[in-house]
Amino acid sequence: MIEMTIISYLSAHLPHHVGAEIPAKRPDRFVVVEKMGGERENFIDTATFSFKSYAHTMLAAMELSKAVRDAVESMTDLDEICCCEYGGDFNDTDTGSKQYCYQAVYNITYY
């Protein structure tokens, strides 16, 4: 399951919580990984992933997002991931919870 591979990799390379959902007790900084869709052709899978970096300030969310982008782009070191194509990042602050969030999007090709 590619989601678990990505979460495990990021957890090992970032000093903050990384998971598939917002933790019940929110730490100061954390990352939520979400698979937004994908396709398969000739036994090669490509999926679009969202990496939401949450923090108590916008600057901290941007800094965490940069660290996430650096870690995602190094995932090609894994045998099962052959390409991480950057799709952009943007402010995705949740005004309801007043939690600052910066989101990066990648198309990831894997076996």
What does the domain layout of the chain look like in residue ranges?
2-110
> What is the mean pLDDT for each group of 10 consecutive residues in the chain (111 residues)?
97 98 95 97 94 96 98 96 97 87 97 86
- What is the C-alpha to C-alpha distance for residues 29 and 19, in angstroms, rounded to an integer? 12
SS3 58: helix
Can you give the pLDDT at residue 54?
96
pTM to 2 decimal places: 0.94
Can you give the pLDDT at residue 71?
98
SS3 95: coil
| Fold that domain 2-110 belongs to in CATH | STM4215-like (3.30.2000)
**DSSP H or E segment with residue 21:** none
First and final CA of the chain: distance in angstroms? 11
Can you give the pLDDT at residue 95?
83
Can you give the pLDDT at residue 98?
80
Calculate the CA 64 to chain-centre distance.
10
